[in-house]
Chains A and B, each alone.
Chain A
Amino acid sequence: SQKIEQNSEALNIQEGKTATLTCNYTNYSPAYLQWYRQDPGRGPVFLLLIRENEKEKRKERLKVTFDTTLKQSLFHITASQPADSATYLCALDTGGGNKLTFGTGTQLKVEL
């Protein structure tokens, strides 16, 4: 069956450290992968998109990698801050353009 798994349900790290979140998938060949942030009671907010022919993408303190051989994406937040605490969702293109399938999300908590 088709599956998208995000490492742990919850991840706690200390302020200033790098948070690394994992997204693994099976039985898909996505043209791109996206990462979203969701705060409690709000809709997801787009962060980054990486295409199948790109190995790495950066935006300020965020970095995403995409390994289509391993079927895995890693999402890094460097110099993490308490304001980075949220749930992070990965989403795969599974329908040729605008059909996204989401993972269950990883709840990140950055502690002082």
Chain B
Amino acid sequence: ETGVTQTPRHLVMGMTNKKSLKCEQHLGHNAMYWYKQSAKKPLELMFVYNFKEQTENNSVPSRFSPECPNSSHLFLHLHTLQPEDSALYLCASSPSKSGRSNYNEQFFGPGTRLTVL
């Protein structure tokens, strides 16, 4: 196990539903990330949080709303999604930005497989 857990592992929702994805890391890291992985496409970075502050929003539609209440937890709130939002959503964490190269390694959770009907 990587020390990063995600729940639920699978989620099916309708376009009018509201749901949330949860990520928790037990590694003492201060940076957390949301990625989207669609079939045949590279991992797409969605959001980055450093010390609970959002430092990156990669032009993500507002129907995805992240929340980082503390350095160990990250949520992705979903509402009025579209079928093309169906994908594997991955959470990752890493030590905070540092000049030391080995601090940039990212630890990924197993992902939430999301299907939007």
Q: Which residues of A contact B (CB under 8 A)?
A: 4, 32, 34, 41-46, 49, 51, 89, 91, 93, 95-105
Most interface-central of A42, A44, A51, A95 (chain B CB within 10 A): A44
Of A93, A98, A102, which one neighbours B43 at CB under 8 angstroms? A102
> Are A49 and B105 interface neighbours, CB within 8 A?
yes
> Are B111 and A32 interface neighbours, CB within 8 A?
no
A96, B105: Cα distance in complex, Å: 13
Between A and B, 28 residue pairs with Cβ closer than 8 Å are A34-B104, A41-B113, A42-B111, A43-B108, A43-B109, A43-B111, A44-B90, A44-B108, A45-B2, A46-B107, A49-B104, A49-B105, A51-B101, A89-B43, A96-B97, A97-B97, A98-B33, A98-B48, A98-B50, A98-B94, A98-B97, A99-B45, A99-B48, A99-B56, A100-B45, A101-B42, A102-B43, A103-B42
> Are B102 and A104 interface neighbours, CB within 8 A?
no
Question: Which residues of chain B have C-beta atoms less than 8 A from A103's C-beta?
Answer: 42
> Are B106 and A95 interface neighbours, CB within 8 A?
no
> Are B40 and A46 interface neighbours, CB within 8 A?
no
Q: Which 7 A-B pairs have the closest CB atoms?
A: A43-B108, A97-B97, A102-B43, A102-B42, A46-B105, A104-B42, A44-B108
Considering the complex, give the chain A residue whose CB is closest to the CB of B91: A43
A32 and B104 contact, Cβ closer than 8 Å, known pairs A44-B43, A98-B94: yes
A61, B1: Cα distance in complex, Å: 22
Of A32, A41, A100, which one neighbours B101 at CB under 8 angstroms? A32
Considering the complex, give the chain A residue whose CB is closest to the CB of B43: A102
Question: Which residues of chain A have C-beta atoms less than 8 A from B90's C-beta?
Answer: 43-44
A104, B38: Cα distance in complex, Å: 10
Closest chain-A Cβ to B90's Cβ sits at a distance in Å of 5
Question: Which residues of chain B have C-beta atoms less than 8 A from A91's C-beta?
Answer: 43
> Are A49 and B108 interface neighbours, CB within 8 A?
no
A43 and B2 contact, Cβ closer than 8 Å, known pairs A49-B101, A49-B102, A97-B97: yes
Closest chain-B Cβ to A62's Cβ sits at a distance in Å of 15
